[in-house]
Amino acid sequence: MNVQNTVELSKSTKAASDWWRGGVIYQIYPRSFQDSNGDGIGDLKGITQRLDYIASLGVDAIWISPFFKSPMKDFGYDVSDYRDVDPMFGSLEDFREMLDQAHAKGLKVMIDLVLSHTSDQHPWFGESRASRDDPKSDWYVWADPKPDGTPPNNWLSIFGGSAWQWDPRRLQYYLHNFLTSQPDLNFHCPDVQDALLDVARFWLELGVDGFRLDTINFYFHDKLLRDNPALPIEERNASIAPAVNPYNHQDHLYSKSQPENIAFLERLRALTDEYEGRACLGEVGDAQRGLEIMGAYTSGDKRMHMCYAFEFLEKRALTAGYAKQVFDQLQSKAGDAWPCWAFSNHDVQRHASRWDLDDAAIRLHAVLMMCLRGSACFYQGEELGLHEADVPFEKLQDPYGIEFWPEFKGRDGCRTPMVWAAQDEQSGFSTGDPWLPVSAAQSEQAVDRLETDGQSMLHHYRRAITLRHAHPALATGAQSEMQQIGPVLMFQRENTSEAVCCAFNLGAEAMQVDLPEGNWRAIGQDLGGVEGEGSVTLRPSQFCLLVRDKG
């Protein structure tokens, strides 16, 4: 049986209910993926046009960032209507067509639900701020000022400044963990929970295969509105917010990650389980307790299917020592957690630039991702080896970058349009003026150029994904304790039929490592893997993969 047939058999025999476990997800940022009508903004029809390309990667699912109706102050993460598509992206009928065609090509579709907050243009907020006697008066987090008129506590917004905004209609402050135009919903109100579960049911009935849940640990706040304690300087971690942001000065004990959240997540999971083969992926934003929260939120079979924290999305390079530290912590805090790993997404600098990786290192990291226990998420353009685009200040759109420029340039550099055809207008993204400039440097790595080169980064990613599907131990098997041998990270994956030994040199120096004894054979040579027996010397960015059959 050839590799492709092995992949298809693996996919076809995998239980419909657990496609997500060890699955490979491709994240689409719709504004920047493909414009179908020449207005410079990507849309749902554009995604539909590119489904053959996505399917050719071998991924199991796509995750689409928000496309709901929105004033776009935070580019769709400020929702004004959860049950409709913003006209800039198309229509509900366009979504149904995209969904049907994706399913026909064997792709699952996950959508991005933003439940912790809405836009201030959402009708719910309009009613809530109208009067303290309105039926929805407690649907958002309102609080009286202190006697001196200042905010009720010291909570800070991730986007800078206080997390409280004064509202002259109610003569109260409302909570916003993000922009002032993104008021936080009050999850302590049962009606709010019910309304949001109805939103989830709407999309499940439409046929989506799951949800990526934005800021999943921000749903509940401390009812007593207690002040967050300060963090000592040596404990400040810039993984959630840039180092220039005072948000890092607090331990956010009370403004997020509250124990009441567990019960709501169980309600959401119970709803999801009414529909076969659906899955929930939660984003855990916490610089101090991310892995611990991931474990709590994915523990057992009544909460989220999987979560991701920010350990591999931060500036700190992925060394052998750091990878071992993360997995050791995960095992000690949450041994049965099911993680979903990502190196890049729409909120952080692309990892090729963030970690200053050359071509060989990018290739190694792609294979490493496919070997780690957990599910995997790639961000559009990652498969091309794209580095961060340089967006000048006058072209910036991201309010986060505008606020903290130039020390922090925001998120626009990872959100520039996808490059499809090097010689075409706007690299094939649009026939109009794009909402962010197309990067000339990225255009050199456009899809059409890489397709013609069998050794390109694009084909490398395809082979890496094929490797994972061809070896079930890599997708769903257990993982041994990681070993750090100088710059080399070494571990094994194992299920009832096979064991895979993985060794990756993540450093700048060659290292000889001893390989396990037994009847092993090398795999992954088409990805650049080296063969070895007894021991092997791995140069920087080299790896060795061995497999042995069991039983």
For residue 174, report the phi and psi dihedrals to the nearest 5 degrees: -115, 150
Catalytic residue among 214, 283, 292, 383: 214
In sequence order, what are the residues at sequence separation of 6 or more whose Cβ sits closer than 8 angstroms to the Cβ of residue 292? 333, 334
Separation of alpha carbons 218 and 417, rounded Å: 30
End-to-end CA distance of the chain: 20
- CB-CB contact of 59 with 453 (8 Å): no
Question: H-helix or E-strand containing 465?
Answer: helix 457-470
The tokens 């909402």 sit on which residue?
435
Query: Where do the DSSP E strands lie in 297-441?
Result: 306-308, 340-342, 375-379
Tell whether the torsion through CA atoms of 345, 350, 356 and 361 is positive or negative: positive
Catalytic (active site) residue 514: no
Tell me the Cα Rg of the chain: 23
Q: Which residues pair with residue 61 across a beta bridge?
A: 25, 108
- Region of 210 (left: φ > 0; alpha: ψ -120 to 50; beta: rest) is left
Separation of alpha carbons 160 and 115, rounded Å: 21
The tokens 């693996």 sit on which residue?
10
For residue 58, report the phi and psi dihedrals to the nearest 5 degrees: 90, 10
Structural tokens at position 91 = 């229509």
Measure the CA angle with vertex 526, ends 520 and 530; round to 5°: 50
HEC string of 87-99?
A: CCCCCHHHHHHHH
CA distances from 20 to 285, 334, 357 (A): 21, 19, 29
Q: Tell me which residue of 257, 186, 259, 265 sits closest to 228, measured CA to CA.
A: 257
Catalytic residue among 205, 274, 407, 517: 274
Say if residue 478 is exposed, middle or buried (CB neighbours under 10 Å; 0-12, 13-18, 19+): exposed
Question: H-helix or E-strand containing 13?
Answer: helix 3-13
Instruction: Provide DSSP, 315-353.
Output: SS---HHHHHHHHHHHHHHHTT--BEEES--TTS--HHH
Separation of alpha carbons 213 and 303, rounded Å: 13
Question: H-helix or E-strand containing 4?
Answer: helix 3-13
260 DSSP 8-state letter: T
Neighbours of 169 (CB within 10 A): 11
Catalytic (active site) residue 383: no
Neighbours of 551 (CB within 10 A): 5
Residues catalogued as catalytic:
214, 274
